[in-house]
Amino acid sequence: MKRKAFGWSSLFCAGMVLMASCSSQSGNTSEDNGEASAPGDVTAYEPDSSTTYEIDWMPYITEPIDQDGKMVTYYEDKFNVDFNMVNVDHANIQELLNLKFASGEIPDVMLDGVSSDTIQQLVKQGVLLSLDEEVLKETMPDLYSKATELNPNWLEFAKVDDKIYGLPEMRDVYKYRTTIVWRGDWLENVGINKTPETLEEFEEALYKFTFEDPDQNGEDDTYGISLSGIPAIFGAFGYLPGYGPHDWQDWFWQERDGEMVFGAIQPEAKEALALLNKWYEDGVLDPEFITGENTGGYWALSHAFINGKIGFTGHGQYYHWNDELKNGDIGANYDEIQKISQEVADSLVHGLPPKGPGGMNLFAPNMLSGKIVGFSRYLEEEPQKLGKIFEILNHTSGTTKENNIEAVMGIEGEMWEENEDGIRKMLPEWEDVMDTGAGKFNLELGVFDLYEIRGDWAVEHGYDKGTLRNALFKPLPSESTYREELTKIRDEAYISMITGDQPIDAFDQFVEQWMNAGGDILTKEANEWYATLEK
Amino acid sequence: MKETSLGSRIFDFANILFMIILCCSTLYPFLYLLSMSLSPSTVSFAQIRIIPEALTLENYQQVLGYDYVIRGFINSLIRTILGTILMVAFTVAAAFVLAKKQFPHRRFWTMFIVMTMFFSGGLIPSYLLVKDLHLMNTVWALVLPGLVNAFQLIIARNFMMSLPEELEEAAKMDGANEIKILIKVIIPLSMPIIATLALWNAVGHWNQWFDSLIYMTDRDNDVLQVVMRRIVLQGNMEAMNGMMPQDSSNINPETLKAATVMVTTLPIICVYPFVQKYFVKGMMIGSVKG
């Protein structure tokens, strides 16, 4: 199928019949790029209306998409294209994609598999197409202007050596910081009437949770804090080390006196570690904190909290902890707690991160999600097809909210309806159908507000307060070389200092080790990049 | 005479105790899953124990009523049956030839086959081969690449070499040709090893998922293990991936996942008891004469 597409479109764009081009995908590079490759020549990207382009479309799949799925055929008819849905399992995506790349197969559109972690390597492998900003502006006018308005540095994130290699996705749910949740009934049982606000109040509550039998079962079986609560404590000292349950937070850079610094090696982190070490020794910090609170299944569940082992958590995102909202949206953790006890669920208190000497800080993601939508380098020879793809993306993700909702949820009236409260509900016969292709043809950019109710809830519970964002939103040139090792060094050092295997003074040694293992190079690169930013 | 000294009795006792604990620890996760799969979704997983508080078949109904699972089941079944039959047929045929003393260069060919056990082409060449043979998205991509397993071939060969040559001579006297000898004499006598091979391959084919993940791009061709994997991994894969969590109002379908696991595992477990006796016999006989 792929070959035929190549044959046909090369026939059109180069204007010559070259049967030989059908026999090899890479073989036709030299013949075809004569006319199309003048940079900024936007007319070359004008799709030919009489051609049915065949597009290998690789979505992010939780469930493989049917070739004849409702939305697949809908967009095929609408845009006069032929989608070949490439279903690549998300859990093994790197492995499977590398196999495909090795065999010369590159899906035209990759909505999965390209991310800030992998983009450099993929560029090195020559898989990704470099995009011209002028062309993006002209061929996807709505999408480009809306996304750029939302975040002027948007495309910066997909740049490698100053060339754009994809379209970074953005998510509006990331306006809000990570979680602070208390068990209200425990607070009450230990005689605290006010949600803890300062670091001292936090400490008091956590000690009482440990020693004053907050669940009133007569047994000493509770702890004050576990892994997911730790980032909040660091935040109170001003610098986030990225040490916590979620690895999407583990690369955290902040500004300090006009310079980019890595949170985990700041002197403030040492003070936080000393405090955590004290808590560990007093038995307030759950000795199982190293493995975290989730024991399997859905990643955002805090089993330790649900099972009443701890009464304070920072696990997951706010929307994993909300009660049932107007549109039926319910947090996964809330749902589980509710199954055990409705009263406990009702008593949950959403608080603010602790106020300490460094203020009140908790991780809030950048809008940039780390995901980048990439395009096959073979498209270089088929600018018209690329233009067609951009036309589709512009329509589904940039034009209007209606079009965006259609791409995300399907066809109004047929697949979902808006009820009298203004809430969009899937119709019963489509409720469980996952393979329609809905949500697979749009970019997530956050330009249209699709989560109004959830967002209101977050603001109401203070999730827009105390947010601290990663100042680094671009992959560094040598990141893939050093980052993994540096993360390991950090985790080992932190755990051994908290558990007392090493004295707190080992911190200085850790900083030195971190710097020598590539940290100094990355810090330099981060600052070089930072200097180029418009401030 | 039974040894009954105190030392040996203590040893026996410790041995039995150890085995019981081992059995329990292997059975526990299975029973836990069974109990979970039988629990209604309103029960929190935190409360699920070996003996479920409430029973329901709802999870199974839901899993079995899901056409993606059914498709996967059928695909797995086709693959297992086809793969097993072909594999046994080819292995037996090849083993028969290799077991013949008069087969020219027998040592060389045997060594040649043994060598493939140590060196393999690797994943990328295999993928390229299957792709260029246009086997992608067909059942042949799952069956053909591993059609003859060198190790199994050697075992089958050894088994056949252990059969008395006189049987063959007698058959020849009665006017049988080689094909007839294979079908009428060797195969009936080789039932233990054939059953062993069949079981190995059936289990192997049933449990194999990675090749399906690589070679199948159409959802209709996914085998049951891939279907199960997808269902089970749903929800926790974001955390594994290290990327930002996908925005999700995921409500924990753990009970459904457990039912899926049971559905995929039970059929193959049911095969075991029936082939067990051949299995032990076939392994033993095949292994003694080297």
Q: What is the pLDDT of residues A125-158, one digit of tens each?
A: 899 999 999 999 999 999 999 999 888 888 888 8
Give the angle A468-A156-A465 at the CA atoms, nearest 5°.
15
A50 pLDDT tier (thresholds 50, 70, 90): confident
Q: pTM for this one?
A: 0.74
Dump pLDDT digits (tens) for B164-211.
888 888 888 888 888 888 888 888 888 888 888 888 898 899 988 888
Min Cα separation A38/chain B (Å): 35
Asked if residues B83 and B205 have their Cβ atoms less than 8 Å apart, the reply is yes
Query: Which residue's entry shows tokens 């993940």?
Result: B213
pLDDT of residue A213: 92
Q: Which residues on B lie below 8 Å from A335 (Cβ)?
A: 251-252
CA distance A494 to B83: 52
Cβ contact, residue pair B44, A301, below 8 Å: no
Q: Which residues on A lie below 8 Å from B43 (Cβ)?
A: 339
Q: Which residues on B lie below 8 Å from A88 (Cβ)?
A: 217
Q: B43 Cβ partners below 8 Å, 6+ apart?
A: A339, B52, B53, B54, B255
Min Cα separation B259/chain A (Å): 14
Q: Which residues on B lie below 8 Å from A92 (Cβ)?
A: 213
Q: Which residues on B lie below 8 Å from A247 (Cβ)?
A: 239, 242
For residue B35, CA distances in Å to A83, B39, B48, B228, B254 come to 43, 6, 7, 18, 12
Question: Which domains, ranges and CATH numbers included, belong to chain B?
Answer: 1-55 (no CATH), 60-288 (1.10.3720.10)
Considering only CB atoms, B217 lies closest to which of A86, A316, A365, namely A86
User: Which of A299, A338, A440, A445 would you mutate first to test chain B, the one with the most B CBs within 10 A?
Assistant: A299
B46 pLDDT tier (thresholds 50, 70, 90): low
CA distance A66 to A327: 28
Using CA coordinates, name the residue in chain B closest to A57.
B217
- ipTM rounded to 2 decimals: 0.72
Cβ contact, residue pair A63, B68, below 8 Å: yes
Whether B232 has a pLDDT exceeding 80, the answer reads no
Dump pLDDT digits (tens) for A313-332.
999 888 889 998 877 778 88
Q: Which residues on A lie below 8 Å from B245 (Cβ)?
A: 246, 248, 299-300, 316-317
Q: Which residues pair with A84 in a beta bridge?
A: A56
CA A329 vs. chain centroid, Å, equals 20
CA distance A328 to A461: 18
| Closest by CA position to A73, among listed A445, A440, A478, A404 | A440
Quote the percentage of chain A above a pLDDT of 70. 91
Give the angle A317-A322-A326 at the CA atoms, nearest 5°.
130
Min Cα separation B218/chain A (Å): 7
B238 pLDDT tier (thresholds 50, 70, 90): very low
**A468 class by beta-carbon count within 10 Å (0-12 exposed, 13-18 middle, 19+ buried):** buried
Whether A37 has a pLDDT exceeding 60, the answer reads no
Q: Which residue has the higher pLDDT, A297 or A530?
A: A530
CA distance B91 to B250: 48
A262 pLDDT tier (thresholds 50, 70, 90): very high
Q: Which residue has the higher pLDDT, A499 or A250?
A: A499
User: Count of CB atoms within 10 A of residue A368's CB?
Assistant: 25
Asked if residues A352 and A465 have their Cβ atoms less than 8 Å apart, the reply is yes
A366 has a chain B CB within 8 A of its CB: no
A243 has a chain B CB within 8 A of its CB: no
Considering only CB atoms, B243 lies closest to which of A115, A335, A435, namely A115
| Closest by CA position to B253, among listed B25, B31, B23, B43 | B43
Dump pLDDT digits (tens) for A360-392.
999 888 777 778 999 999 999 999 999 999 999
Stretch among A50-59, A350-359, A390-399, B158-167 having the lowest mean pLDDT: B158-167
Give the angle B56-B57-B62 at the CA atoms, nearest 5°.
125
Cβ contact, residue pair B235, A298, below 8 Å: yes
For residue B53, CA distances in Å to A333, B41, B49 come to 22, 12, 8
Whether B146 has a pLDDT exceeding 70, the answer reads yes
pLDDT of residue B45: 67
pLDDT of residue A280: 96
Min Cα separation A48/chain B (Å): 29
Dump pLDDT digits (tens) for A301-317.
899 999 999 999 999 88
Asked if residues A238 and A357 have their Cβ atoms less than 8 Å apart, the reply is yes
A214 pLDDT tier (thresholds 50, 70, 90): very high
Q: Which residue has the higher pLDDT, B80 or A365?
A: B80
